[in-house]
Structure 1
Amino acid sequence: MNNIQKRPLSDLGYNFIETTLPKGKDEYYLRNEQWSRQDQYRRLTAYEVEALVRNDNTSDDWNIIFVSNEFNPQLVQHCHFFGMVRIGKLEPYYLEFHNLRMPVGLYNSTICACDFGDNVVVHNVNYLSHYILGNEVIVANVNEMATTDYAKFGNGILKDGEAEAGRIHMELCNENGGRSVMPFDGMLPGDAYLWTRYRDDDQLQQQFKVFTEKQFDKRRGYYGMVGDRSVIKNCKMIKDVTIGTDAYLKGANKLKNLTINSSSDASSQIGEGCEMVNGIVGYGCRVFYGVKAVRFVMASHSQLKYGARLINSYLGNNATISCCEVLNSLIFPAHEQHHNNSFLCAALIMGQSNMAAGATIGSNHNSRGADGEIIAGRGFWPGLCVSLKHNSKFASFTLISKGNYMSELNINIPFSLVLNDEHDNRLKIMPGYWFMHNMYAIARNSWKYVDRDKRTDKVQLIEYDYLAPDSVEEMFQALAVMELATGKAWYAIAENAPKKELTEKDIRKKGKELLLNNPEEVAALTILATGMENSSREVQLLKVQKAYPLFRELIVLYGIKNIIAANKPSYLALQAAVKTAKRTDWLNIGGQLMKAETVATLKTKIKKNKISGWPQLHDAYQEIGKEYAADKLQHAVASLLEIKDLAIKNLTTAHLAQWLTDSIETMEWITSNIRRSREKDYKNPFRQLAYENEKEMNAVIGSLEDNSFINQTINDLEEYKTRVRQIINEWEL
């Protein structure tokens, strides 16, 4: 049966804190800490009490209704007050927002123990309890808006006297809770990533819990806050929610145990039919039209729309999920997921990703237990109706063609097209697909993510360039895979193959020789790879003879572009900056790239308490970000020299001058390919079927000549040429 308690009416609005109060404190002591204006209020005059009563207002004790000097009792009508209430300035104005015009004042509401700033609008609030409203706040047509004494506002903490079983966790990346974390206001993608990894390091995991606990007060009795100029209208239930300034909440069904961050330059909005429970909403977020979110964190400027479901998941900055269901996932910044039949479960998606319609990433019922995971590097793009099986892992910028992939995959070649060829019963992989066939998309994506990064507080330096330390390291790995597979393919049919058993080094050497000197011969081979699919069928690599030199050329370009970006005043200055250049492993920590050794140092500092809380860890992210350009330059030069098979001590000005000049040709090829890949959409006769003529097509989709991105790349090419010539002249190369 329902436990309905019956208490004296005189208790309503009092005894908010149910645990024992600290010595010398009353139930309002935390409320007074939150609202520093209590000294600006006075008691009501006899005239004001009379006016309030005449306007059909009631109070259990008019002596604890406090007001400012500019209080107008005529602007309070048909309200019932319980407990101590403080009311700021009320003047004869109306407030207007999005064509909603309402008079300043308190009308037709039941109010328990609340504080109000100046010129607030409170209309038809059936129950408003233990809230502090800032200046010029509008709250209209709300059924219930209340705060409990144990409110945690979405943070994964416990208040005094609460049992551990009541703690909120987010079960990220894995359905069995083995990677669960405690959500907290201000949680960055890097925090979530570090916490979900390294589960064998008990000391590190314990420190993350300590960080979270120490960041928040365990005392009971904090009130919900609504910041200045926030607007709340036509909502049903708002419970244990704290709201920043300039927020806009309209028509939400249920908002419970939340922090909704909002500010004048990054306002957040929650719209009709939304239900959100146990979570954190970041600055500048948009949540509209029937969204359901439970146990979640939305990083700043992310969006949920059109019935999206976000459960036990972290959504990174500048990401959008529309119509889809996302469960148990950690998603890094710049993720796009649309269409009503998409689904993503138990996944780590490392940003700059796009989920196509019908893509099923992680079925609940394809293994013996709910403990599988998908891990996808930057630029992950599963195509229409792709179905993947746990556990699978994908290198950066993997495009997966439409199909049902019945076995686990480990695709370790970046920039690939993955194809399930049912006719040949083979998994086929085309390395370098993006560069050969859709340069426009990959180049434009890198540009648009920078352009669309709306973060106002860029604590983590997020890398958006497709040529970066993480993807280049994967390209080196891919070169080794292609060399070995090519060597094996050649020896398998060679008439004069050596009779002794060949080592992997010998096979790779032969493969590299063929790929560099005999691409026509390689094109005639059937090149098979191993370890990429958990099945007995063959895995075939396509167009290896084209991808291999292209990867090498782009790694060189990566080196040269970073030398140019370093903007050193001379060749000697460059030498000094890269004298210890070496390739190292890199990790993607929430979209911020870090050397593996840097992450190891970070973990050590956390365990030794040299980093003693989340703010200090965030400071460390910023310090690492400041060193990123220098670290990236070291890696870029080391990568360049390795491709050129040259020791750094033997690097001369002649080498550098030649490579700079050669890079112009590579940039010209990229610029040409960007236009060519987009031009196919205009010249394809099937693309033209929807239009009567070319003029109509240009009116609908825009002309190729007016494409702003293509024109920008052409201008960038000219600037690049000018800069290369300038460096050659200035450095006297």
Structure 2
Amino acid sequence: MEKQARGLSPQEISVLEARGCTSDDWSKVFVSDGFSPEFVSHAHFGGTVRLGANGTEVSLPGGVVRRSGIYRAALYDCTVGDRVLVANVGRYMARYDVADDTVIENVGEIICTEPSSFGNGIEVAAVNEGGGREVPIYDGLTAQIAYLIAMYRHRGRTVERLRAMIAAHAGRCRSDRGRIGRGSRIVNTLSLRNVAVGEAAVIDGASSLENGTLASSAASPSRIGAGVTATDFILARSSQVETGAMLRRCFVGEGVLIGNGFSAENSLFFANSHCNHGEACAVFAGPYTVSHHRSTLLIAGYFSFFNAGSGANQSNHMYKSGPVHQGIHARGCKFGSDAYVLLPASTGVFTIVTGRHYNHHDTARMPFSYLVEEAGESVLLPGVNLRSYGTARDIGKWPRRDRRRGVAHDIVDYELLTPYTAGKVLEAIAECEALLKRHPTAESVVWNRVRIKMPSLKKGLVLYRRALRSYLSELFASGEVPPSDPALREWVDLAGMVAPRSRVVRLLDDIDSGAVADLDAVERALQRIHTLREADTARWARYAFSVLSGKPESEIGEADIAALVEQGREDRRLWDDAVGTDAARDFAPVMAVGYGVDFPDGRDDDFLAVRGTVGQ
């Protein structure tokens, strides 16, 4: 309910004028109960201004306590809530509604210049810099909804209906007045133009913010820090943009950290991504995309659970059709230092890329591999990343690094093996077997423009089978496994959410028909799919075992299942041993080089104090 307001009394006007205050028309200044002119000085009021209760104590950093009120500021057509401190606004604040308990201090200007949707509806040309995969951003965008819009362009009606839902939301956000949420802090900032600021948000030291929304709540506060410039942007709850970052046409999702001069244009960043120093252009950064180095470029691609080494780079422009090429780097990929990929290219799940690659590789059907450069050629080592301690460590660390507070809207599945990734392993087994059958005496084969040496191919097949048996063994050992459902055989990864493709298609059909008619309904439908994942996984397991064993499902008996469980336990032991051996290499004596400086006899103790032991 709107607070009761009254006009100023002649005595209050007299006190205000004595304190250096002026107004274009004092009759348009209204105040609430609890207002005192004693806590307003050197202020100018233009248009209609409403002021709340003031004079309460406001605690500031460093143990400083001040009184709420208006000091050295010009306000035009503004509403200021209760217990608000506004001080030192260099130019003016115009057409803004400021909620209770807010601090605005040392600000150049805060202006709503025209009717604005505050960044909602801005088109972001993600994945392909040449366009065609634009995602309209809004203050509730999730990784899954963005993925459907960006990646399912063959579903034209679906995409248009989703875009219409977002356009309707942007229309509801449209206003000729800006808003600053309860308990927020805007200090030491040069300029805010057409920026909506959520509850409990902090903007401290920003340079210039224009046409955007900083979504925030008391449970999930967000922050923009020193030197940041941002135009046409949305920041989700629990996000932070700091220290000189530069954003243009970007969405910064839940728990995302961007800072240290990182620049991004036409890019989307989702749950818990962390980007410093480098550059992004036309990027769809799914959950846990990490880039920490000044010389690193991410461009024209899809990334998820990704880590970029120093100097990692991609090229999307071959000077023919323009910058129209794109890269798909599936869940869990890593690029080593100075790795280079000429796009278009597709990199399979959990693949480590080192060296330079010019041949447009497609390793989607060979997951968990190393893609390396040898004598200028791209060489693939299938499956070897399954036994990497780094991969095992990643799976453990990601849940611990979830920075989202309060409600989290991006759906994130963390497990290494799921029907999606294990399905890729099934495909890899088929590819390896086919290559070995076609080239029984060859020393190496060229597959999808990468070379695979036969010893690597055979080793990869062993690793793939071992991993799949281990996973299926755990599924069968966990309880009775129901008959499979043909509709649940193919799975997809919707930017962190693993789901049967058939359920996703059903959702898309419901969007097309209007049965799912708004953004909230889309989110609810995705959550329902997510809650069915465990049951759907159980119904996938028997199908996967049938493919692995070469037996029709109808012929798989209890003895076959018992043998699988037993073999899978042994496979898990061998797998764990391989990961442990790999971890031990990183703690071997040779790794203690440089430790025990000045005290060689204390080298081992120094190494233990700093690095700890395997598994710590």
Per the shorter chain, which TM-score range? over 0.9
The 2-side partners of 1:68 and 1:602 are apart by 50
The 2-side partners of 1:186 and 1:344 are apart by 25
Q: Give unpaired runs (5+ residues) of structure 1.
A: 1-35, 157-167, 494-524, 569-573, 709-733
Q: Give the match for residue 288 of structure 2.
A: 334
Does 1:386 find its partner at 2:336? Answer: no
1:470-511 deviation line (CA, Å, top 9, x unaligned): 211211111122112222332xx4xxxxxxxxxxxxxxxxxx
- Structure 1 residues 637 and 446: CA distance shift in structure 2, 3 A: farther
1:327-378 deviation line (CA, Å, top 9, x unaligned): 01111111111100000111011x1110110000235456542100001110
- Structure 1 residues 474 and 541: CA distance shift in structure 2, 3 A: farther
Residue 439 of structure 2 aligns to a residue whose secondary structure is helix
The 1-side partners of 2:591 and 2:499 are apart by 45
1:311 to 233, 250, 265: 265
1:189-240 deviation line (CA, Å, top 9, x unaligned): 1111111223344322321221112223369644211112111111000011
Contact 1:558 1:636 in 2 (8 A): no
1:621 to 521, 526, 538: 526
1:408-439 deviation line (CA, Å, top 9, x unaligned): 111130000011111xx543211111123x2x
Contact 2:206 2:228 in 1 (8 A): yes
Contact 1:415 1:433 in 2 (8 A): yes
Q: Give the match for residue 58 of structure 2.
A: 94
Q: Give unpaired runs (5+ residues) of structure 2.
A: none
Contact 2:381 2:452 in 1 (8 A): no
The 1-side partners of 2:134 and 2:155 are apart by 14
Q: Give the match for residue 447 of structure 1.
A: 396
Does 1:286 find its partner at 2:203? Answer: no
Identity of aligned residues (%): 23
The 2-side partners of 1:578 and 1:451 are apart by 35
More moved, 683-692 vs 408-417: 683-692
More moved, 207-216 vs 539-548: 539-548
Q: Which amino acid aligns with 1:612?
A: A
The 2-side partners of 1:378 and 1:259 are apart by 29
| Displacement of 1:84 | 1.4
Q: Give the match for residue 71 of structure 1.
A: 35
Residue 283 of structure 2 aligns to a residue whose secondary structure is strand
The 1-side partners of 2:454 and 2:24 are apart by 80
The 2-side partners of 1:338 and 1:397 are apart by 19
1:596 to 484, 501, 515: 501
Residue 142 of structure 1 aligns to a residue whose secondary structure is strand
Q: Which amino acid aligns with 2:31?
A: V
Q: Give the match for residue 373 of structure 2.
A: 420
Does 1:374 find its partner at 2:327? Answer: yes
Q: Give the match for residue 231 of structure 1.
A: 185
Q: Give the match for residue 466 of structure 1.
A: 416
2:384 to 426, 433, 453: 433
- Structure 1 residues 197 and 612: CA distance shift in structure 2, 3 A: same
Contact 2:473 2:568 in 1 (8 A): yes
- Structure 1 residues 365 and 346: CA distance shift in structure 2, 3 A: same
Does 1:214 find its partner at 2:168? Answer: yes
The 1-side partners of 2:536 and 2:42 are apart by 66
Q: Give the match for residue 485 of structure 1.
A: 435
Q: Give the match for residue 8 of structure 1.
A: none
Residue 234 of structure 1 aligns to a residue whose secondary structure is strand
Does 1:633 find its partner at 2:538? Answer: yes
The 2-side partners of 1:220 and 1:40 are apart by 26
The 2-side partners of 1:221 and 1:374 are apart by 38
The 1-side partners of 2:550 and 2:316 are apart by 46
Contact 2:35 2:53 in 1 (8 A): yes
Does 1:144 find its partner at 2:109? Answer: yes
Q: Give the match for residue 309 of structure 2.
A: 356
| Displacement of 1:285 | 0.7
Q: Give the match for residue 205 of structure 2.
A: 251
The 2-side partners of 1:643 and 1:280 are apart by 46
The 1-side partners of 2:68 and 2:158 are apart by 52
- Structure 1 residues 57 and 414: CA distance shift in structure 2, 3 A: same
The 1-side partners of 2:542 and 2:313 are apart by 40
| Displacement of 1:457 | 2.8
Which residues of 2 match residues 701-712 of structure 1 at below 5 A? 701-704=611-614, 707-708=615-616
Residue 59 of structure 2 aligns to a residue whose secondary structure is strand
| Displacement of 1:100 | 5.5
Does 1:129 find its partner at 2:94? Answer: yes
Does 1:674 find its partner at 2:587? Answer: no
- Structure 1 residues 398 and 237: CA distance shift in structure 2, 3 A: same
2:471 to 558, 574, 577: 558
Q: Give the match for residue 571 of structure 1.
A: none
TM-score, with length taken from structure 2: 0.94
Task: Flag the structure with higher strand content.
Answer: 2
Q: Give the match for residue 543 of structure 1.
A: 456
1:590-639 deviation line (CA, Å, top 9, x unaligned): 21122222222222111111111221111110111111111122223321
Residue 152 of structure 2 aligns to a residue whose secondary structure is coil
Residue 158 of structure 2 aligns to a residue whose secondary structure is helix
Does 1:172 find its partner at 2:126? Answer: yes
Contact 2:185 2:200 in 1 (8 A): yes
Q: Which amino acid aligns with 2:359?
A: S
1:507-547 deviation line (CA, Å, top 9, x unaligned): xxxxxxxxxxxxxxxxxx613132234xxxx5535522322
Q: Give the match for residue 182 of structure 1.
A: 136
Q: Give the match for residue 698 of structure 1.
A: 608
The 2-side partners of 1:263 and 1:40 are apart by 26
The 2-side partners of 1:539 and 1:677 are apart by 22
1:662 to 561, 567, 586: 567
The 2-side partners of 1:220 and 1:321 are apart by 31
TM-score, with length taken from structure 1: 0.79
The 1-side partners of 2:498 and 2:68 are apart by 51
Count of residue pairs the alignment pairs up: 608
2:359 to 407, 411, 422: 407
Residue 216 of structure 1 aligns to a residue whose secondary structure is helix
- Structure 1 residues 580 and 594: CA distance shift in structure 2, 3 A: closer
The 2-side partners of 1:99 and 1:428 are apart by 61
Contact 1:429 1:542 in 2 (8 A): no
| Displacement of 1:461 | 3.2
| CA RMSD across the alignment | 2.1
1:548-579 deviation line (CA, Å, top 9, x unaligned): 122112112222323455xx4xxxxx25x335
Contact 1:583 1:639 in 2 (8 A): no
Q: Which amino acid aligns with 1:114?
A: C
Q: Which amino acid aligns with 1:556?
A: R
The 1-side partners of 2:539 and 2:88 are apart by 63
The 1-side partners of 2:62 and 2:541 are apart by 51
Does 1:115 find its partner at 2:79? Answer: yes
| Displacement of 1:128 | 0.8
Contact 2:202 2:223 in 1 (8 A): yes
Q: Which amino acid aligns with 1:695?
A: D
The 1-side partners of 2:359 and 2:119 are apart by 38
- Structure 1 residues 221 and 638: CA distance shift in structure 2, 3 A: closer
- Tell which structure's C-alpha radius of gyration is larger: 1
The 2-side partners of 1:83 and 1:152 are apart by 23
